[in-house]
Structure 1
Amino acid sequence: MPEVIINGPAGRIEGRYLHGKSTNAPIALLLHPHPQYGGTMNNKVVYTLFHAFAQRGFSCLRFNFRGVGRSQGTYDRGEGELSDAASALDWLQTYNPNATACWIGGFSFGAWIGMQLLMRRPEIDGFVSVAPPANMFDFSFLAPCPSSGLIVHGDKDELVPDAAVTKLVNKLSNQRDIKIDFKKVEGANHFFNDRSDVLNDVVGTYLDANLGKTLAAE
């Protein structure tokens, strides 16, 4: 899987990129958990998301936020990380000018950043948010949420209470023309230890049902 270096607002951004086989392959950007708590693009949940999109013909990019791995800069409380994500999406779009769709996926802190990017980039068609930390970060900016998507939460999550995620899902689901699929993974903790296969199936099933026949066939 090719390593890529992207010019970001704080310097070099380190990423891993897989190019789709189709000339008009859809694109997916995957975001990792909190940089200050060991989050990297090689996180198992992020790789599971990457794999689920790649299996369906997407051109996929995952990358390290500033200050992680070989990415330059230092942690910036989410503001800088959002800028990193926007730069990564710009790079992904530059190399895939004919992409038929644009999706974003994120885990934990990455889900929070991904949802913010969703609000700023109208070309994003859908999202997958795994264990969004609705008890730790403010998601009130999703007013209204611009696109439908999937939220996945482990029923044994020790960091994010079920009630916080359910409240977020209910808020989004009440918005006009928005459909939020909410899937709880039985026995999964926050990091989906020993539940990666189940997560892969949940995400894959959702994508297959929502990409449309044209994309699913590519």
Structure 2
Amino acid sequence: MVSFIKLGIFEREAKTPALNTRQLALLLCGLDPELKTQEIPTEMEKPYNIYYRHIGKWMNTSGLFRGGNSSLHDADKMFALAYPMIDDDLTPQPIKDRCLRAVAIIASKNNGKETLLRLGGEELSIKGAELSKNQRGMHRKEDERANTDILLGLLVKLLAKKVGHSYGTIEKPQISTIYNELCKLADEEGIPLTGLSKSTIYAKIRNSISSITYLINYIK
């Protein structure tokens, strides 16, 4: 069993028994759930505000939560509600996995279908039914994404190790340098970066490095 203190921030947060609206919105954005509002990076303010507003709206509509946005709520219900809101680029893999697991947990309980329907509508209810029928099959896509994150993390660390200097170190690759060089390369090769904003690329690289850190600690 991996020591709790050696886990990455998102692996630790995936184990939390309860969280509030702000913390869930930050996690979906790939940010530290304890960040103060004024500390949120400028490029992440819009995604955060969208998540915060819609999480609160869905919670109120469901009728399954007591207390407001600042109150702590059951993690299974919160993460299950967040499943339809996952962003492939921004949301860290441990949080994606936790959301999926929350849907499966609720789906396996009495009245699980009704609960999921109230949390996220028909889409979430259907996902719960699918998981109940074939949990292994539903995990395949998430496993593929996790493997892609690991591969990207290894490539980033390899680049930092081989080049060094402004690229950082294998322990701490310099994301800003890698981003700038990627943009230059794309421009030189005439490759459009449509859909790959700065915040998306930064989040992808951060998440991939986090996946490697988790793997290393897990092996230990």
Q: TM (normalized to structure 1)?
A: 0.27
Larger Rg: 2
By relative contact order (CA 8 Å, sep 6+), the higher-ranking structure is 2
Between Structure 1 and Structure 2, the one with more helix by share is 2
Between Structure 1 and Structure 2, the one with more strand by share is 1
Q: TM (normalized to structure 2)?
A: 0.27
